[in-house]
A and B are shown apart, each in its own frame.
Chain A
């Protein structure tokens, strides 16, 4: 069955996504590893699409990594999230957009639990009032930031400077996606395409000229597994899961991996280095890795942003082979310069992975 037919079947998994006026919920992982993605997202929404996004200085972590590492109890995370709803309410917004799959899953789960158990929502109101003297309203619309980019994928395509196409041959780029477990595995109807035929990223890829590839382990976890990465002794779990994915996608010779969750992006990028050091294996062409892009980075490249403005120099797997395929001009030295144009030296070279 082709992809379009599959998407037809899963048409009921088309969620509602607000059109404008988003309260932005920042991700700890994204700001640490992909701050340029975050900037690109806010810039694209504000300056290219003319939308209002409120970036609130009073916003904090959702504590989600602590929650799924079982050191933060559910009552606590609910109240932290309720505080974010209160800040949103106070600022006059009704639509909330978390920018991390873990967070999105938690917001979805909390709203679901409150609906099933109103007494728990009531208790959260009380906790929040006692702790902060704040009151909250639940959001009218909850969407992940990738849902928002998906919603405007055709508007982005209309402004594109570069398509997801190999300019030397005219071949659409082959793109494998990784959706992130908590996006739709817990509440399939809350994710575009559900858990079976996730379309949030492949929809962007198609709109921007690329060819999504449905590889066998597409739905498998990247292996973060919270305590399974955070504790050094457990990291074998994490890397083994990513390895399973790399081996499954490699035969399709993907031009890049696109990810929904900043955590997954980081793992799929960094573990290619680690595996190369451990076993000498690399998954791209000629000793390179498979470049990994966040959906914001992909959107920004399509729109003609400079690769180093959006932080692609933070990736361990080099993106240059991809930039060359797409015909994107870049200054190789600017990769290593700071905001004042001064050189910051060079990272050391890995033993096997070509950079």
Chain B
């Protein structure tokens, strides 16, 4: 079996993101995730560059790699031109490919993300559309959004968009041929297989945790054991 560190080295994010880390800690100083979570990008980069297989496996199963916000503020600052956020992207990919992500609460959230974004992209052709920002799931959006959501057909017309209609313009319905091409890209490039794998690993985990898929979805979307900060 190929070693985890060998697999990482084939990942373009890893190749582009890690030169050699001198453990200066500048990335940690600038990192918004380090300020909020028990998270330290310097330690992660250092663990990865040591190429200790056991430490790497632990990392891939941990909560830690899921805290980063991928803001890439660290890229600007690192004196060695590393991108800890890019290293994180390669770790998250490997954690999902190996099925390790279901071992942590934050990792399991990939299921919620896959369900929401996968559904939006492959059914509507957008990552976000008004229909999916349901006020009950987004209380933070406030009463103005609730009002817009309720009146969305007439509202979007008022502000000149082409909501749910054919042709050009904002919020138009993406035509069938285009949707076919988009789905075909996901098939050909492995995007579909990647998402299917998230789905399968999650189904296994749900069974192990004694949950049906709906309960498991809510678990991955809502639960916070408050042991992250």
Residues on A facing B (Cβ under 8 Å): 26, 28-32, 35-36, 38-39, 55-58, 60-61, 63-66, 68-76, 78-80, 83, 105, 113, 116-117, 120, 127-128, 130-132, 134, 181-182, 184-186, 188, 195, 219-221, 223-228, 230-237, 239-241, 270-271, 273-274, 308-311, 313-316, 337-340, 342, 344-350
Contacts and interface: CB of A to CB of B under 8 A. Distances in A.
B156 A225 contact: no
Contacts, number: 257
A130 B147 contact: no
A66 B118 contact: yes
A72 to B, nearest CB: 6
Contacts of B156: 35
14 contacts: A29-B128, A32-B129, A65-B117, A75-B190, A120-B12, A131-B187, A185-B71, A185-B73, A186-B75, A227-B113, A230-B116, A236-B36, A316-B141, A345-B147
B175 A58 contact: yes
Contact of A130 (B161, B171, B188): B188
B200 to A, nearest CB: 14
A186 B186 CA distance: 26
A81 B75 CA distance: 23
A134 B184 CA distance: 12
Given A69-B113, A316-B144, 6 more contacts: A72-B121, A75-B190, A79-B188, A225-B69, A226-B70, A241-B36
Nearest to B140: A274
Interface of B: 12-13, 16, 32-33, 35-37, 66, 68-73, 75-76, 83, 89, 92-93, 96, 106, 109-110, 112-114, 116-118, 120-121, 125-130, 133, 137, 140-148, 151, 154-161, 166-172, 174-175, 177-178, 181-182, 184-191, 194-195, 198, 220-224
B113 A71 contact: yes
B219 to A, nearest CB: 9
A233 B109 contact: yes
Give the one of A26, A57, A342 with max B CB within 10 A: A57
Given A76-B186, A132-B185, A344 B12 contact: no
